[in-house]
Amino acid sequence: KTHKYMLKGCQVFLAHVTTKEAEGKSEKKQLENVPIVRNFPEVFPEDLPGLPPTQQVVFQIDLIPGAAPIAQAPYRLAPPEMKELSEQLKELSDKGFKRSSSSPWGAPVLFVKKNDGSFRMSIDYRE
Amino acid at 26: S
Topology (CATH) of 62-127: HIV Type 1 Reverse Transcriptase; Chain A, domain 1 (3.10.10)
**Chain CA centroid to CA 96, Å:** 21
Measured CA to CA, the distance from residue 27 to residue 33 in angstroms comes to 11
Higher-confidence residue: 127 or 108? 108
pLDDT-derived band at 68 (thresholds 50, 70, 90) equals confident
Helix, coil or strand: residue 106:
strand
Q: Residues in the chain, how many?
A: 127
pLDDT-derived band at 109 (thresholds 50, 70, 90) equals very high
What's the pLDDT score for residue 75?
Answer: 92
Measured CA to CA, the distance from residue 127 to residue 76 in angstroms comes to 17
pLDDT-derived band at 117 (thresholds 50, 70, 90) equals confident
